[in-house]
Structure 1
Amino acid sequence: MMSQQTRMNVSSSPIARRDRCIVGFDGSSASVMALDWAVTWAARNHREVHLVGVVDDEAGALGGARADDRDRAQAQLLSLAFALLAERYPGLVVANRLVTGPVASSLAAAARPNDIVVVGADKAVYAHGQFFGVRSVQLAALVSGPLVVVPAADLRFRAGVLVAIDGGPESSRLACIGAEEAMARQCAVGLVHSVAVEATLEQRHLGELVLREAFEAARAVAPGLEISRHLANRRPAEAMLNLARDRALLVMGRSRRNAAPGVGGTLHEVLINANVPVMVLP
């Protein structure tokens, strides 16, 4: 295991000392975009940034010399990224670490309960990186805290936060977190709740009540924030991905309605087809 850390102009906030932003980094374009997203978020929320590189030994096919070369290359990537962050963001607490093992479980193990884990996702180049596609689904099932999956897409002109509301007991909390993210970005927040295409008038009315309750919770957090509500007559994942096409962030919950391992079908579909940074909350 290899690690480095730098502390320059460290904030005295207890959040900065306790909670961290864990970034899966393998040098791919997807992981670079994830790191850019994480640095911006961490600076805004007074979090440390910890780069974690994982040497994946699942295949077990490399000989000793090639394995050593791979380890050195990964270590060099981490050191370079570490040095660049320390130079460009002198007020940020930065650390890095290289670990060995299965990618998803190793990255999940590197995070503490209050840490936020950030990874990149790029469906187009599956063979060239480690932290995307199915990896994000595996991580969603393994990490106990927040997870952010950042797609390899042009996010420069994105604005707005979208919050998926499922009507469960945590809906108001999700709406509040989405409102806080929108305030930090100085943008609007949208709330979306889905009902079946064949929904009855009573079911639609219940959907409107769910959205209204979430709306009031978000407005209590940010009275001056622009908040919109969307009752969608389509599958939840389809509604989220459609409305999030031009947004900067999608906030959704990680369902724990059953004890089975893995994630629910909606979260699985969203992560596999992510067209927006997705913040998955427990």
Structure 2
Amino acid sequence: MASGEKSGTGTKVVEIMRLPLVVGVDGSASSLRALDWAVHEAARLALPLKIVHATMEDEDDWEPVCGPENGGGKPCGQDVRQYVIEAAQERARRYDPDLRVNAGLVCGDAVTALLNAGRNAFALVLGARGRGELKDLLLGSVSLIVAARAQCPVIVVRNADLPSVDRYEQVLLGVADAENNSAAVRFAFEVAAARGCALDAVMAWHRPPRTSISKLLDLPRHEDRHGQRTRALLDEALQRSVSAFPSVDVHRTVEEGPARDVLLKHSETTDLLVVGARRGLSRGGLDLGRVNHALLHYSACPVALVPQRN
């Protein structure tokens, strides 16, 4: 996405690059929920939708959630793989016949296929758990690895999430600091502007431990000072995007407590939670961190993890 100004007017406008919204499907119920969410989002953002199904050459021993009968038996081999992608494409077009949908099979493992698709995507949309994941895992390994390595934003749709993307007409932005969240801030503003909804920008803070002298003298904790400093940092982080997207109604929230707990609580009353992730030095790509891990596992709404560009 990009923002610019109309020549001669000085009025800010939002231009969404026509990169596709990519969604990974594998025939599981979780991936179908992700597909439904992606269809709604692509339609409202006026983006093309690209459906990707990765398959190994020898993958012929499973059945999809719903499969066509073939002489009384279940489909297998290439028929099954083709069915998954064709059924997903038909499902998308039933919702919106005018939606530009491209779907295709990719030979190889799911992680590699999705990472490659994300190189030229507005965002990747994934289900929380695929068909091959253990049922006691909160987040599937494919979703977690892709979220950690993708070059574009990754949106994880949890199993409990409904297809509707506008229950609350609000996007939630979790801001860690002013310097390392610029990409996530831009992404959240751009999505909120395209949706025409409000943006709730949240920054958590905690009181520093008392020193021995302050305890001895029973000095005041200066809670207002710490809260004011956090609010100033939040204003700094939002400043450029507030100017670039004047149509977005921004609510600023500064709240004391662990960032994980604060954001999980706010996720219960929002449609999409946007957070940033810095690139680490390891081959793993993004350093998700403990807070982002917790959000991906427990958030009450879809989570968009946006890589911070250095």
1:111 pairs, out of 109, 112, 118, with: 118
Map Cα deviations across residues 40-69 of structure 1 (whole Å, 9 max, x no partner).
222233322111112258xx8x7xx63792
Superposed displacement of residue 154, structure 1:
4.4
Q: C-alpha distance in 1, partners of 2:149/2:56?
A: 17
Map Cα deviations across residues 178-235 of structure 1 (whole Å, 9 max, x no partner).
2332233332211111223446745544311111223444432343543222223222
1:206 partnered with 2:201: no
C-alpha change, 1:29 and 1:100, in structure 2 (3 Å) is same
Unaligned 5+ segments in structure 2 are: 1-14, 63-74, 210-220
Q: What residue number does 2:268 align with?
A: 245
Tell me if structure 2 keeps the 8 A contact 1:120–1:131: no
Instruction: Give the secondary-structure state (helix, strand or coil) at the position aligned to 2:106.
Output: strand
Q: C-alpha distance in 1, partners of 2:53/2:258?
A: 36
1:232 partnered with 2:232: no
1:187 partnered with 2:197: yes
Instruction: Give the secondary-structure state (helix, strand or coil) at the position aligned to 2:278.
Output: coil
1:141 pairs, out of 127, 135, 148, with: 148
Superposed displacement of residue 86, structure 1:
3.6
Question: Percent identical across equivalent pairs?
Answer: 25
TM-score by length of 2: 0.72
Instruction: Give the secondary-structure state (helix, strand or coil) at the position aligned to 1:223.
Output: coil
In structure 1, give the amino acid aligned to 2:42. A
Instruction: Give the secondary-structure state (helix, strand or coil) at the position aligned to 2:232.
Output: helix
C-alpha change, 1:54 and 1:197, in structure 2 (3 Å) is farther
Q: Deviating runs (4+, > 6 A) in structure 1?
A: none
C-alpha change, 1:249 and 1:93, in structure 2 (3 Å) is same
Q: C-alpha distance in 2, partners of 1:91/1:131?
A: 35
Q: What residue number does 1:6 align with?
A: none
1:164 pairs, out of 163, 167, 174, with: 174
Tell me if structure 1 keeps the 8 A contact 2:128–2:138: yes
Q: What residue number does 2:9 align with?
A: none
Instruction: Give the secondary-structure state (helix, strand or coil) at the position aligned to 2:268.
Output: coil
C-alpha change, 1:165 and 1:83, in structure 2 (3 Å) is same
Q: C-alpha distance in 2, partners of 1:198/1:55?
A: 51
Q: What residue number does 2:160 align with?
A: 153
Unaligned 5+ segments in structure 1 are: 1-12
Map Cα deviations across residues 241-266 of structure 1 (whole Å, 9 max, x no partner).
1111120011111222x413352222
Q: What residue number does 1:174 align with?
A: 184
Instruction: Give the secondary-structure state (helix, strand or coil) at the position aligned to 1:254.
Output: strand
TM-score by length of 1: 0.78
User: How many residue pairs get matched?
Assistant: 261
Q: Which is higher, the Rg of structure 1 or of structure 2?
A: 2
Comparing both structures, which one devotes a greater share of its residues to helix? 1
Q: What residue number does 1:79 align with?
A: 86
More moved, 114-123 vs 47-56: 114-123
Superposed displacement of residue 122, structure 1:
4.9
Map Cα deviations across residues 155-188 of structure 1 (whole Å, 9 max, x no partner).
3434311101111424355334323322333322
Q: What residue number does 2:299 align with?
A: 274
2:128 pairs, out of 114, 118, 121, with: 121
Q: What residue number does 1:21 align with?
A: 21
